[in-house]
Structure 1
C-alpha cells in the first residue's frame, strides 16, 4: 500500500553500502502536524538511492513511500521506504525552470559561432 507525505527536507545522510552489496540512504522530512512538527525518517534502497541526488536540505518535497515491517529476535521494526520524490513547482529552494534553461542553453566561452557545424 502506498502512502504520501509533504514536508521540508531537514537532513540527507550519505549512502551506506553493506558487504552484501545492499545500498541504502536515509532522509529526514519535517512535516507540519498541528502544534508539534514531526520529523519523519525515510529510507531509499538500491536504485532509489539516486532519487536523493537532486534533493537538498531545505527543499519542500512530496515523498511516496511504502511501510515495511519485519521481526528480528522477537522484536518488530517498521521502515518507511521511499520510491518517488516530487518537488512542487512553487519550491523556493529549487531553481526555476526558466533559470535552468537560460543557463543550460547559453553557449559557454569555449564555443564561437564559427565552431557550430551547421
Structure 2
C-alpha cells in the first residue's frame, strides 16, 4: 500500500548532512500543512538526491508519496515520515504512482471530519 499526503509547504528546514559508515549523507525536512477545518502540520523528510530532484519550495501546494517508519533508541520511539516522490499541485486524482496500480494508494485525508469531531 502506498501512502500519500497533500498540502501546502509552510516551511523548509535547514539541510543536515554528515558522514556515515556508507559515506556522506544529507537530509532536509519540510513542514506540510494539510487542508481542512482542522489543518495538520506534518514534518516530512527528503534524503539525498531527492532534495535536489524535488526542489520543494515554501508556499507551494504538493502531494508527497511517503513511507512511515518508527524505530526504538534507548527505550524511546522515533517516527520518520519519508518522501520518496513529490508532485506539484493536489494529486488526489487517483493516478497511480510509478510501480503501482490505480486504487493501491492510500490518501491520508485529515480534512474528513464532521463539524462535531474533536481536532485530535
Same fold, TM-score > 0.5, yes or no: yes
Q: How far did 1:56 drift?
A: 1.5
Unaligned runs of 5+ in 2: 91-120
- Which residue in 1 is equivalent to 2:53? 51
Give the TM-score normalised by structure 2: 0.65
**May I ask how many residue pairs the two structures share in their alignment?**
87
Q: How far did 1:5 drift?
A: 0.7
Q: Is the 8 A contact 1:15 1:49 kept in 2?
A: no
CA–CA distance in 2 between the matches of 1:27 and 1:52? 12
Unaligned runs of 5+ in 1: 90-118
Please list the CA deviations of residues 55-82 of structure 1 after superposition, one character each: whole Å capped at 9, or x if unmatched. 3111110111100111100111111000
Q: Is the 8 A contact 1:70 1:77 kept in 2?
A: yes
Greater helix proportion: 1
CA–CA distance in 1 between the matches of 2:59 and 2:48? 24
Q: Give 4+ residue runs of structure 1 displaced > 2 Å after superposition.
A: none
Q: CA, structure 1 residues 71+78, in 2 after alignment: closer, same or farther (shift >3 Å)?
A: same
Q: How far did 1:33 drift?
A: 3.7
RMSD between superposed Cα atoms in Å: 1.7
Q: How far did 1:52 drift?
A: 4.0
- Which residue in 2 is equivalent to 1:5? 5
How do 1:1-118 residues align onto structure 2 when only pairs under 5 Å count?
1-20=1-20, 21-34=24-37, 36-53=38-55, 55-88=56-89
Q: How far did 1:15 drift?
A: 1.8
